[in-house]
């Protein structure tokens, strides 16, 4: 296995999928430690970049310890998308941060606010516009352009192949396909057949996304689609070790599940990094949903989650997690 994105060479094709509110620097770093080879930032608005929004600038920053990171933008106007991409290619590389290795274009976000503005997965209604956006961004930057899309808007409009071909023709270096329609949101099952069809139609690498929660589902996705790699989203929340598990499976090696101490260490490391970046007041509430999942299924996990949900400082969460012992082993 192995693939190239522009001049970047990946050995196993293991991607951390972009997820708004989740894939911050902290999650990207711990995922890399566990074996993720490539990650993508939370999506940022192209218009907000062009208008100089300070919050967006923070979201767009990438630290040197993150490895290969693409910066994801969303929008619907080719000129604005191109201007934002050009700015982001090097705009936030100061003060110890580094530029992205690629610009990723969001064509898969299903939320009403984004879709209603004609952005995200709404772009799949218009393959010609997809072509224009990718071409404009490609011409504006010197790093690769990648695209994240879905199988279609709904079951009556499954057009991932057409949209992916438009992106490839316009200069995209890679396409990632989430095998659900916009109408499905995150429910139901991801359609592996449509991912297989996209892979068969394109000459550039195709990454498969959807329902990858273990090494078994990862290997099945690769087998059934022929994809060049896999992108993991919700399966990595509170479980960055999934990348280590899949790496072992790909290499035919025995996998050792993380010990309780490893889980405690990684949960606290993810929280520490989040606090370092954002401060306790913002990082602690935002990280609760991720940190509690590290211990899902443990005896007493409900009480632990309740404690984390009311904690307001790193020290409080650290005490709660440090108190977990082997007597809290999984039920």
- Tell me which residues are annotated as active site: 109
In this predicted model, what pLDDT tens digit does every residue of 318-327 receive, in sequence order?
999 988 876 5
The residue-averaged pLDDT of 53-66 equals 90
**What are residue 177's DSSP bridge partners?**
149, 208
Query: In whole angstroms, how far apart are CA 175 and each of 121, 130, 208, 218, 231?
Result: 14, 12, 9, 18, 11
In this predicted model, what pLDDT tens digit does every residue of 201-243 receive, in sequence order?
999 999 999 999 999 999 999 999 999 999 999 999 999 999 9
Q: What is residue 251's predicted lDDT score, i.e. its pLDDT? A: 95
Q: What is the mean pLDDT of the chain?
A: 93
Q: From CA 114, how far away is CA 248, in angstroms rounded?
A: 38
Its pTM stands at: 0.94
Q: From CA 31, how far away is CA 23, in angstroms rounded?
A: 10
Q: What is residue 94's predicted lDDT score, i.e. its pLDDT? A: 63
Q: Kindly report which listed range (35-39, 100-104, 305-309) carries the lowest average pLDDT score.
A: 305-309
Percent of the chain exceeding pLDDT 90 equals: 85
For residue 49, pLDDT over 70 is answered with yes
Label residue 331 by pLDDT band (50, 70, 90).
Answer: very low
**Residues with Cβ < 8 Å from 106, sequence gap 6 or more?**
18, 43, 72, 73, 74, 119, 120, 148
Residue 252, exposed/middle/buried by CB under 10 A (0-12, 13-18, 19+)? exposed
Percent of the chain exceeding pLDDT 70 equals: 97
Q: From CA 287, how far away is CA 267, in angstroms rounded?
A: 10
Signed CA dihedral, 18, 22, 28, 31: sign only: negative
Q: From CA 203, how far away is CA 263, in angstroms rounded?
A: 40
Q: From CA 151, how far away is CA 124, in angstroms rounded?
A: 9
Residue 126, exposed/middle/buried by CB under 10 A (0-12, 13-18, 19+)? middle
The number of beta carbons lying within 10 Å of the beta carbon of residue 61 is 19
The residue-averaged pLDDT of 13-38 equals 97
Q: What is residue 121's predicted lDDT score, i.e. its pLDDT? A: 97
Which residue shows structure tokens 């504006």? 140
Q: What is residue 26's predicted lDDT score, i.e. its pLDDT? A: 97
**Residues with Cβ < 8 Å from 197, sequence gap 6 or more?**
160, 161
Q: What is residue 236's predicted lDDT score, i.e. its pLDDT? A: 98
The residue-averaged pLDDT of 62-78 equals 96
Which residue shows structure tokens 């520490």? 272
Residue 293, exposed/middle/buried by CB under 10 A (0-12, 13-18, 19+)? middle
* Bridging pattern class, strands 102-107 and 229-232: unpaired
Q: In this structure, are residues 248 and 254 in contact, taking their beta carbons and an 8 Å threshold?
A: yes
Label residue 298 by pLDDT band (50, 70, 90).
Answer: confident
In this predicted model, what pLDDT tens digit does every residue of 264-283 receive, in sequence order?
999 999 999 999 999 999 99
Q: What is residue 325's predicted lDDT score, i.e. its pLDDT? A: 75
The helix/strand/coil state of 136 is: helix
């Amino acid at each position: 296995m192995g693939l190239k994105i522009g001049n970047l060479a990946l050995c196993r094709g293991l991607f951390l999928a972009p997820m708004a509110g989740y894939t911050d620097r902290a999650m990207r770093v711990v995922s890399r430690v566990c074996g993720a080879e490539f990650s993508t930032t939370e999506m940022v608005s192209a218009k907000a970049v062009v208008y100089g929004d300070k919050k967006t600038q923070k979201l767009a920053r990438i630290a040197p310890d993150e490895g290969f990171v693409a910066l994801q933008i969303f929008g619907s106007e080719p000129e604005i998308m191109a201007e934002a991409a050009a700015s982001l290619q090097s705009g936030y590389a100061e003060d110890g941060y580094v530029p992205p290795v690629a610009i990723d274009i969001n064509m898969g976000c299903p939320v009403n606010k984004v879709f209603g503005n004609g952005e995200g997965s709404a772009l799949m209604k218009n393959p010609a516009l997809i072509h224009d956006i990718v071409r404009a961004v490609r011409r504006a930057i010197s790093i690769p352009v990648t695209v994240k899309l879905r199988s279609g808007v709904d079951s009556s409009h499954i057009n991932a192949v057409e949209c992916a071909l438009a992106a490839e023709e316009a200069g995209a270096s890679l396409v990632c396909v989430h095998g659900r329609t916009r109408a499905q949101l995150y429910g139901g099952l991801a359609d592996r057949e449509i991912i297989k069809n996209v892979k068969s139609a394109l000459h550039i690498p195709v990454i498969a996304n959807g329902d990858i929660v273990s090494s078994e589902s990862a290997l099945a996705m690769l087998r059934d689609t022929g994809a060049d790699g896999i992108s993991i989203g919700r399966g990595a929340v509170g479980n960055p070790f999934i990348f280590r598990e899949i790496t072992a499976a790909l290499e035919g090696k025995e996998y050792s599940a993380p010990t309780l101490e490893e889980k405690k260490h990684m949960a606290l490391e993810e929280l520490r990094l989040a606090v370092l970046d954002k401060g306790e007041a913002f990082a602690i509430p935002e990280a609760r949903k991720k940190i509690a999942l590290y211990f899902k299924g443990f005896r007493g996990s409900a009480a632990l989650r309740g404690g984390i949900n009311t904690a307001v400082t790193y020290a409080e969460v650290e005490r709660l997690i440090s108190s977990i012992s082997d007597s809290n082993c999984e039920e």
